Amino acid sequence: MTKTVPDIQRLIDELCPEGVEFKAFGEVVKILRGKRLTKNQLSDEEKYPVYHGGLKPIGNYGQSNRIANTVMIINVGASAGTVGYTAVDFWSSDGCFCVGSSDSLISRYAYYALLCHENILRSKVRFAGIPTLDASAVESIKIPLPPLQIQEAIVDILDTFTMLEAELEAELEARKKQYEYYRDELLTFGEEVEWKTLGEIAGYSKTRIEATDLDATNYVGVDNLLPDKQGKTISDYVPVTGRLTQYIDGDILLGNIRPYLRKIWRATNTGGTNGDVLVIRISDNEKQNLCPDFLYHILSSEDFMHYNIKNSKGAKMPRGNKSAVMKYKIPIPPLAEQEPIVATLDKFDALVNDISVGLPAEIKARRQQYEYYRDKLLTFPEKACA
C-alpha cells in the first residue's frame, strides 16, 4: 500500500532522529560513460534501445551495456543536463552518463533526487561548440542519503504521482485521436456545398497599430503563440517603438516561420503582432455567411497545416507562402450547419488543447503537485558531523 507523507515523517523520526547524512553523488556511485555506435550499427529490428543526446532512443542495437532501472543523464547536445530513467536494458552511448549501482542508494530514489537538481546540471553545461556536461558536475551534486526503508517509501509515493500523470497523458492522447477523427468527419464536404479559396472570403490585415498601444496581454509574437493549437499566453517581450499589424476579435493568427507554422489562435481581443505572424480577417461581405470559429477549425485542421508546411518557402528559416495560403480551398456550408459543427469541435478543442481547462490543465496541476511533494519529500535536516 502506498505510504503517505505523515508515514514518511514517522519513519524519519524513528530511523534518523538526528538528521540525514548528505553525500556528493561521486562518493556514493560511479558515473558510467557510454560507448558510441555508428549509424550503420543501428537497426529498428534489434532489441535494445540506444540513447545518445536525448531521452528518445536514436535506434536499436543487438546488445545492451546497461541494465533495466538505470538512471541516465544526457551529457551532450540541446538536452544536456536532462535526467532520465529506463525500465528496460539498453545501450548507453557516449552522449549519456549512467548512474552505477550502490548498496546505499536505490536507483529510483537516485532518479528523483537528481531531478531536484536538474536545473543545476543544466546550468553547468558548457556551450563552447556542442553543449557538453562534464561528469564532475554530476559527481559534485549533494543528495540526502536516508535509510533504504525511507528511500523505498519516498519512491512509492512519487511513483504513484508519476503513474497518475502518465494515465492522464494517455487519456489526453486518446482524446486527441478522437477529436481528430470527429474534426475530419465534420469538416469533410463534397460538391454539396460551395467551395471558395481563402482569398475569396478573407484577406490579410492591413491595419496598423502603434507599439505604444500594446502590452503583454495584447501583443502576439511567435514566442507566445502556443504549439499544437493551444492558443496564446502572455508575452515576455513587447516592442516599445514602431507600427505593427493590428488584429481584432475574430481574426485568425498563424505562425509564419518554421518551426512555428503549426501555431494558430483565434483572436478574442484587439492587439498587434509582427511579420512572423499572419493575421487573417474575414471580408466584410462574407461575415454573414461564415462563422469565424468555423474558419478557425478549417485552418487548424491537419489538411491545412500540411498544406501550409508543404508550401513554405526558404532554406534556413522557411516562411509560410502568403500567396499559397490564400489559394487554399475552403468549404462554405450554410451557416445553420456551421454552428453545430463549431459547438462540437469547441468542446473537444477545450478538452485537449486549452491550458486553463480540460486535460492539459489537470495534467499541469498533477505535475505541480508531484513537484511540490518531490521537493518536500527530498528535503531533510542534515545530520551534524561527529
The answer to whether position 369 is within a domain reads no
Residue 211 and residue 130 in one domain: no
Taking the chain, what is the end-to-end CA distance rounded to the nearest angstrom? 37
Residue 298 belongs to domain with CATH number: 3.90.220.20
Q: Cell numbers of 288, please?
A: 454573414
Indicate the residue among 332, 352, 380 that finishes a domain.
Answer: 332
- Beta-bridged to residue 98, according to DSSP, are 32, 72
Residue 205 in domain: yes
Q: Is residue 186 part of a domain?
A: no
Mean of all residue pLDDT scores within the chain: 88
Q: Do 320 and 209 lie in a common domain?
A: yes
The pLDDT of 248-269, averaged and rounded, is 90
Residues 103 and 208 in one domain: no
How many whole angstroms separate alpha carbon 86 and alpha carbon 259? 29
Decide if 132 contacts 80 (C-beta within 8 A). yes
248 lies in some domain: yes
Mean pLDDT of 294-316: 88
Assigned domain for 177 exists: no
Query: Same domain, yes or no, for 140 and 256?
Result: no
Final residue in a domain of this structure, among 307, 332, 357: 332
Residue 122: pLDDT over 70:
yes
Query: 221 pLDDT exceeds 80?
Result: yes
Q: Is residue 56 part of a domain?
A: yes
> Is 321 found in the same domain as 207?
yes
Q: Is 276 left (phi over 0), alpha (psi -120 to 50) or beta?
A: alpha
Q: Is residue 353 part of a domain?
A: no
pTM over 0.95: no
Between the alpha carbon of residue 216 and those of residues 21, 127, 213, 223, 344, the distances in Å are 47, 31, 11, 12, 31
Mind listing the pLDDT tens digit for each residue in 182-220?
Answer: 888 888 888 889 999 999 999 999 999 999 999 998 999
d(CA 231, CA 263): 8
Which residues face 208 on adjacent strands? Answer: 245
- In the predicted model, is pLDDT for residue 234 greater than 90? no
- The strand pair at 277-282 and 202-204 is best described as antiparallel
- Domain of residue 227 covers 194-332
Q: Is the pLDDT of residue 177 over 70?
A: yes
Residue 296 within any structural domain of the chain: yes
What integer pLDDT is reported at residue 117 of this predicted model? Answer: 93
> Within this chain, do residues 35 and 111 fall inside the same structural domain, yes or no?
yes
Is pLDDT of 360 > 80?
no
pLDDT digits (tens, 9 = 90+) for 261-297: 889 999 999 999 998 999 999 998 677 788 999 999 9
- Residue 11 pLDDT grade (very low, low, confident, very high; cuts 50, 70, 90): confident
Residue 257: DSSP 8-state: B
Q: Does residue 224 share a domain with residue 131?
A: no
Domain end, chosen from 317, 332, 347, is at 332
DSSP sequence for 291-327: -HHHHHHHHTSHHHHHHHHHT-B-SSS-B--HHHHHT
**How many domains is the chain partitioned into structurally?**
2
pLDDT of residue 3: 59
Res 386: pLDDT: 55
Least confident of 9-18, 133-142, 246-255, 322-331: 9-18
Distance CA 188, CA 62 (A): 46
